[in-house]
Chains A and B, each alone.
Chain A
């Protein structure tokens, strides 16, 4: 099992550009999440999904969009990149109620 796989690992974007952060899990987990982590700020929830076709906003959804067309994939879209979106992004999945969250290795994004 690969677990949770995120691509790319690093990316530099110019202001106004768009990109998609990919997240795939091979554990057949229903629950998937996108977090961003800024220095000294912990992990903040951007969007989450409780199953294919179902997504909802977390704490900091502005400037992002997601889709969940399959159980395995949960891409995060940035439409108009801004410097405030410079962060490390983590995707996570949970298999069931009150079980462990598995994290990907992160995507380090810089917007210049």
Chain B
């Protein structure tokens, strides 16, 4: 079983739609959860970072963590063409700060 599972998509939505991206994880020891955004031919960039269960908002983005079901989500409101990218969920654990990534979901927002 992979430590972090993510639907690879691709996901195509019209501009203005609400986007929901999801991941599950297997290790209950994971405590820190992140969403990275990766544009084509670029390195990943941190988008959201959460620690506890619940929601965290940043502008049009909301990250949600449910530790009881080991489920993490990213919601994008009023999606824009500039949001078209691959979104990777990740967890951080261990003394050496290992970052474990999901496979990434490719999102396309159509104008």
A67-75, A77-85, A97-105 - interface stretch: A97-105
> Is B96 within 8 A of A104, CB to CB?
no
Total inter-chain residue pairs, C-beta < 8 Å: 55
Of the candidates B44, B45, B97, which one forms a contact with A94 in the assembled complex, judged by CB atoms under 8 Å apart? Answer: B97
Chain A, 56-93, CB within 8 A of any chain B CB: 56, 90, 92
What CA separation (Å) do A98 and B42 show in the bound complex? 23
What CA separation (Å) do A45 and B104 show in the bound complex? 15
In this complex, the interface size class of chain A, counting residues with CB under 8 Å from chain B, is 20 to 34
> Is A48 within 8 A of B32, CB to CB?
no
In this complex, the interface size class of chain B, counting residues with CB under 8 Å from chain A, is 20 to 34
Instruction: Given A42-B104, A106-B43, decide whether A101 and B32 contact each other with a Cβ distance below 8 A.
Output: no
> Is A43 within 8 A of B44, CB to CB?
yes
Q: Which residue of A lies closest to B51 (CB)?
A: A98
> Is B103 within 8 A of A101, CB to CB?
no
Instruction: Given A103-B44, A106-B43, decide whether A41 and B103 contact each other with a Cβ distance below 8 A.
Output: yes
User: Which of B44, B45, B88, B104 counts the most A-chain CB atoms under 10 A from its CB?
Assistant: B44
What CA separation (Å) do A81 and B98 show in the bound complex? 26
Nearest CB in chain B: distance from A104 CB, A: 6
Nearest CB in chain A: distance from B96 CB, A: 5
Instruction: Given A42-B6, A42-B104, A106-B42, decide whether A101 and B88 contact each other with a Cβ distance below 8 A.
Output: no
Of all A-B residue pairs in the complex, the 3 with the closest CB atoms, nearest first, are: A103-B43, A42-B103, A43-B101
Which A residues are closer than 8 A to B by beta carbons?
4, 31, 33, 35, 40-43, 45, 48, 50, 56, 90, 92, 94, 97-98, 100-101, 103-106, 108
